[in-house]
Structure 1
């Protein structure tokens, strides 16, 4: 398997071809920060910003070069993208009404059984299935997806039995290459595509998906139920999205060289005007390129979408397991980590001594089931001119054909820090006449790669046993069995190694990611013409299995849409709170969730926990984060009132940033989680939270319980909250007191319950300070 760190540096062309050919199952969220196509984004804040300033700057560009303007933004916010010189960009930065001018960044792309698994894990047993087509949902939700496009012929996008398109929908179905208005229906109600400039290289003038990623994501979020779906018989079952009653609006923002920030902002601008309820983005910047908020197309677009009542869900990134690697971490975004499910793809190795070693991966091995094939280590076949280390990892030109031909070769992990270039290893062995490969690699073992020839991946622990057999046997032999699907695998869920982690070093006073969801080996709809994705000489697969936080994001988007359908008046923050406070922290063994290494997971790994498909329908209490909270967050990040007033349409006249605004004000955002930094010595810090009663029963009495580590004393005031009616608000304080001189990150939780509802908020406390 390709290492995540390696994939990050691939240009998008490589991502597209590796995705289609299944050489890379983790579609990495990445960005080429400094690289620029000559396009700059001129961001001028809210849509109510000065029309005069906007037209003046836009006209100045038109006068210079009528073709210079690439996009204009005028619905959700104001600005434009245009070809500019750096000198022109610098001059515009000084112009009245301009918030920021920045180079157009290139961001990158970051299920049958997964939904059944989530339902089985939830602790709230209610009917989580959307109402039947004959009984319309209370609110017809529309999910907007920014991605690589859509394959409309997939059965997952059938509109059979769906009601007419909601009259409030204002979007369009754009016509393009191999895409007509008839490709839209009552499921796919909108389709747009964006092209940033003539320098994009290979251009595809259409909303049609040429990569598969957007189709997979869309069907995971809102695909119609499809019986007997599978990947050549594997992962068989009924494929469906999280909200199969929802509509889909596809915004194809990715072109040959990546997902341009200018296109992403144009899609946000259109989606706000079109009337979507949810926006799902399985893409973003890598952790090594973390743009300023006013130069981040996703953070900007999401802010204005949330101001208009649209919930925005984004992937956390695939740069794990490094600490501080999470992206898309603005507080107005729901940020999603990736976890495993209880389905496994097993391809075993049978040894001559009758021992069976469990392997992972997808292969359709045609080898005999009896262990009759000679088994050797790569280093045992090394050429005289090659090093033992290069042969051990089966590097090209490192092994002798006479030693490899007709044998199964054991190759070891080829990439420092995890992952393997298994494609090169498999090709090397095949070209030398080898009949199969056993790869020893803990990380690659976790994601089911699709192997074009007999190949499987085993753990280092099992690898030691395998190598012992080879060295102790006078005639070691083996075979590799074809893959079978294993259900009820334990433990699950676990946070997978590639999932990006918190904290954001610059903002220790907020926990990100927010939530985790299935993102490993997810089956969903695929292209209908992708012959490269099949390991057999058969027709293209209609469904495919891939992994990444790209796959976890639409799981949450589907739940968001379903919650919205049942609670149409809830704000984006209320929906986020309902999802977070009802999350699950245990696996199917009844034990605390872990990382895939077996270590206990923390809120920096999974946020509030694993998403519950139906718990969010009955949260009891919700934390509603106001626009003022977000404005105070911007103050805490160093922005002044003038800039903030330009960004937001809802800044109260009396609003001003607090004097000496610090990260402590971020701790006091009315967020469902709590993070406190700089708690040193034996000092105390206080945070305030406000909850709204949405239990539906009117009167309610909630009592609090605290799970705190010994290094910090936690006191909640008051310990009882009494509500007399629905939608009533009550506030409480939490006082954190350190009992030691220095705190690293320590975690705990505060839970309110009325006997029916359980409202849980995790917290983290540290002595560390946010980076400036």
Structure 2
């Protein structure tokens, strides 16, 4: 079990989920997964043959005799959980779902797929460079990180195993040569793999295990890495000597989902075995209720920018200059100007003005647009930047200026096509210029990198926001990390127009998403694990959360892309600072029992929780959703505080992992009108007293309606332990 605690697992899917083809007929067999609870309760002791036989017998009980040829398993599971996958009809699935021993039956659905400077930036935010700490940990860190996604490019220099020790004995994988992954790709960074045998109806997942290069001690051979000169520096990660187990289980078409939330079920069993699960929060922002992966046993990550910007300048014929944001490697210069037009002025015949302005597919007249720089607007979210750019490029235009207030902070990679993005204010001036002269002209310069950009971090426009639709009594996202314009090792692109003239395809790319933020948190968690091997996953999670910061590099409160103050539904507790988490002082430890209480409070039956936990756990009689707020989580969320009723009282317990004799004092920051009282106001720890509980009472009589955000900080003369709360007053 101890070795399992050193396996960290991140991404938004689970390896046993399969992809299937959708069908329309209700009686047409399709791919289902049958979930039967924790494997620990397997009465057969985990015997593969008996388990498979039992599953076949169960399947035969629901399939008509005349269709015996359908009695076949796609796969059976008996490691982290018990169950199987097979082909059967919706009606058969319904019958099976109420069978004794079955927790749930669900169709296999598609879930869309959700560096250099970023680690330096996180260290700089703390006001120090701590390479000495990393160096000291080089020999002691041997943490395994699981990556479940579209796979990795094993030939990248980032995965060389120079200076890495032997493969840990606890590693249970095997290297498998399949498709474009060769056994020679396996090394001490890539101990490796197993191909899960699946029927043709299911995606064949490939487990590719490999180690990440020790980021500080063993950088890639050419220490100056970049994306065609941009984002240059030494590519490194966040945890020294960390090994990676990569499982290829997704395609561009998407990744499998499960139950109403299959990821939550798999993550629950991972947590049960000491496996920490870190998930991206989704890229559907900035609207509320868009956060995903919101179960309390998952570490949910939002995305932010770092102090590096990519600038592509627009120069107008009247001499005015605007600083746009984009990545382009065009060959345009200030020495030559090109005709500048609004997209609506080069609209195809019979095309509505609004569609042409937004550069809808088929909306531009190629003859009118050819050779010109076209200005498009971005007030229709149904047409992505990539589509607009392709529309303009296919119209043989010379370049494109996109007016977008929100997305300008997330640089789009246009390859060699002259492209830039400006805010509404600058866009309005450009359109005014077009309308003020008969022959408007402009040019778009290639991208340059702007270091020490301010403000940073800023919440990414695309980062999904809370509260969680599943339950608002758990605050999500948990934390924020760099996810905008991150340099990452990638398979070299051969896509036309992506490689600058005279250059070889790059082994790196600049990407933006919460999936770019997620590995930063995973690396930080691995880093903490390497130092505090005895800590549980929830303790590591708490340490990273309570030491996060809520200010930017201008020492002002964090903001979102529209330059308004960010709240906890945007950033969780704040931006991750890994080095501070090494010594958090106090931690909130959330036990598996509390996660079971969460399931009870949410509405699951005692039978289901017993199956999931392989224990005799019984749900309390008074299980209601409001009680979810009381599980021992590092943050507090209250879905409903009735201003006309008694105050809501929340209990928390903290464990001292710092100096044994310490006294912490409470400091509350609450919005006007919301009264927050903490008792006791002081927490006293000694050699023998390691855990202390406290209560927080929320009074909403005079508070404004809707969510009220604030914080509670416990501090002594050495440490400060920061927690946040979100209270919805009705």
Give the alignment's TM-score, normalised by structure 1: 0.84
Q: Distance in 1 between matches of 2:386 and 2:704?
A: 47
Contact conserved, 1:350 with 1:371, CA < 8 A, in 2? no
- Tell me, yes or no, if the aligned pair for 1:636 and 1:662 is still in contact at 8 Å: yes
Distance 1:28 1:168 in 2: 24
The counterpart of 1:136, out of the listed 136, 139, 146, is 139
Q: 2:231 aligns with which of 203, 228, 235?
A: 235
Q: Distance in 1 between matches of 2:375 and 2:314?
A: 11
Partner of 1:86: 90
Q: What does residue 691 of structure 1 align with?
A: 654
Residues 1:715 and 1:602: Cα distance change in structure 2 (over 3 Å): same
CA displacement at 1:409 relative to structure 2: 1.7
Partner Cα distance (2:449, 2:703) in 1: 51
Going from structure 1 to structure 2, the CA distance change for 1:395 and 1:573 (only over 3 Å counts) comes to closer
User: Which residue does the alignment assign to 1:648?
Assistant: 613
Residue of structure 2 equivalent to 1:380: 345
CA displacement at 1:60 relative to structure 2: 2.1
Q: Secondary structure at the match of 1:358?
A: strand
Q: Which residue pairs with 2:398 in the alignment?
A: 435
Q: Which residue of 2 aligns with 1:486?
A: 450
Distance 1:670 1:165 in 2: 37
Aligned residue in 1 for 2:4: none
2:30 pairs with 1:38: yes
CA contact (8 A) 1:338 1:519 kept: yes
Contact 1:232–1:541, Cα closer than 8 Å, also in 2 = yes
CA distance in 1, matches of 2:225, 2:139: 26
Does residue 473 of the first structure (1) align with residue 476 of the second (2)? no
User: Which of these residues, 282, 290, 300, is aligned with residue 325 of structure 1?
Assistant: 290
Question: In the alignment, what sits opposite 1:183?
Answer: 185
Q: Which residue of structure 1 lines up, in the alignment, with residue 103 of structure 2?
A: 99
Residue 536 of structure 1 aligns to a residue whose secondary structure is coil
Question: How far is the alpha carbon of 1:554 from its aligned partner?
Answer: 0.7
> CA–CA distance in 1 between the matches of 2:424 and 2:393?
23
The answer for the alignment partner of 1:455 in structure 2 is 419
- Decide whether aligned partners of structure 1 residues 51 and 86 sit closer, same or farther in structure 2, where only a CA change above 3 A counts: farther
Structure 1 position 189, deviation (Å): 2.2
Cα–Cα, structure 1 residues 34 and 573, in superposed 2: closer, same or farther, change >3 Å? farther
Find the aligned partners of 1:570 and 1:198 in 2 and give their Cα distance: 42
How far, CA to CA, are the matches of 1:622 and 1:306 in structure 2?
17
Partner Cα separation in structure 2 for residue 618 and residue 160 of structure 1: 31
Q: Distance in 2 between matches of 1:581 and 1:124?
A: 19
Which of the numbers 122, 125, 148 marks the counterpart of 1:121? 125
Q: Distance in 2 between matches of 1:342 and 1:28?
A: 31
Q: Which residue of 2 aligns with 1:714?
A: 676
Task: Mark the CA change 1:205 to 1:556 in structure 2 (over 3 Å): closer, same or farther.
Answer: closer
Of 512, 515, 539 in structure 2, the residue corresponding to residue 550 of structure 1 is 515
* Contact 2:651–2:695 (CA under 8 A) maintained in structure 1: yes
Instruction: Write the distance in 2 (CA, Å) between the matches of 1:482 and 1:184.
Output: 39
- CA root-mean-square deviation: 3.0
Conserved? CA contact 1:222–1:240, under 8 Å: yes
Alignment match, 1:676: 638
CA distance in 2, matches of 1:546, 1:482: 18
Cα distance change, pair 371–204 in 1 and its aligned pair in 2 (3 A): farther
C-alpha deviations, 1:591-618, integer Å up to 9, x for none? Answer: 1001111111111111111101211101
User: In the superposition, relative to structure 1, how do residues 700 and 506 fare at CA in structure 2: closer, same or farther (>3 Å)?
Assistant: same
Residues 1:730 and 2:727 aligned together: no
1:448 Cα offset (Å): 1.6
1:271-290 maps to which residues of 2 (within 5 A)? none
For residues 244-643 of structure 1, the aligned pairs below 5 Å read 244-255=240-251, 257-261=253-257, 292=260, 296-370=261-335, 372-413=337-378, 416=380, 418=381, 420-452=383-415, 453-528=417-492, 530-531=494-495, 534-537=498-501, 538-643=503-608
Q: 1:409 to 1:442 in 2, by over 3 A?
A: same
**Aligned residue for 2:63?**
none
Are 1:48 and 2:52 counterparts? no
Report SS of the residue matched to 2:413. Answer: coil
Q: In the alignment, which of 150, 161, 164 is matched to residue 162 of structure 1? A: 164
Paired residues, what number?
Answer: 695
Find the residue that maps to 2:724 and give its secondary structure.
strand
Change (3 A) 1:494 1:742: closer
Contact 1:394–1:429 (8 Å) recurs in 2: yes
- Aligned pair partner of 1:759 in 718, 721, 724: 721
Unaligned 5+ runs, structure 1: 1-26, 209-213, 263-290
Stretch deviating more after TM superposition (320-329 or 379-388): 379-388
Rounded to whole Å, the distance in 2 between the matches of 1:327 and 1:502 is 9
Task: Determine helix, strand or coil for the equivalent of 2:400.
Answer: strand
Moved more, 74-83 or 185-194: 185-194
Q: 1:261 to 1:520 in 2, by over 3 A?
A: same
Structure 2: distance between partners of 1:673 and 1:506: 17
- 1:288-307 CA deviation, whole Å, 9 max, x = no partner? xxx53xxx221111111111
Confirm or deny that 1:59 pairs with 2:63: no
Contact kept, 8 Å, 2:713 with 2:722, in 1: the verdict is yes
Q: What SS does the corresponding residue of 1:698 show, helix, strand or coil? A: coil
Distance in 2, matches of 1:118 and 1:33, equals 41
Seen in structure 2, the aligned counterparts of structure 1 residues 400 and 604 have a Cα distance that, compared at 3 Å, is closer
Partner secondary structure for residue 604 of structure 1: helix
Distance 2:673 2:336 in 1: 56
SS at match of 1:109: coil
Give the 3 Å change call, closer, same or farther, for CA 719–312 of structure 1 in structure 2.
same
Q: CA deviation at 1:531?
A: 4.8
Q: Which moved more, 1:478-487 or 1:42-51?
A: 42-51
The CA deviation at 1:489 is: 1.0
CA distance in 1, matches of 2:443, 2:152: 40
Say whether the 8 Å CA contact 2:212–2:243 is kept in structure 1.
no
Q: Is residue 221–residue 242 contact of structure 1 (8 Å, CA) maintained in 2?
A: yes
Q: Which runs of 5+ in 2 are unaligned?
A: 1-11, 24-28, 45-49, 61-67
Decide whether the 8 Å contact of 1:221 with 1:554 is kept in 2: no
Q: TM-score, normalised by structure 2?
A: 0.89
With 121-130 and 185-194 compared, the bigger mean Cα shift is at: 121-130
Q: 2:154 aligns to what?
A: 152
CA pair 609-427 structure 1, distance change in 2 beyond 3 A: closer
Structure 2 distance, partners of 1:533, 1:371, is: 22
Q: Distance in 2 between matches of 1:340 and 1:247?
A: 27
| CA distance in 2 between partners of 1:523 and 1:82 (Å) | 41
Partner-residue secondary structure (3-state), 1:359: strand
- Alignment partner of 2:595: what SS? helix
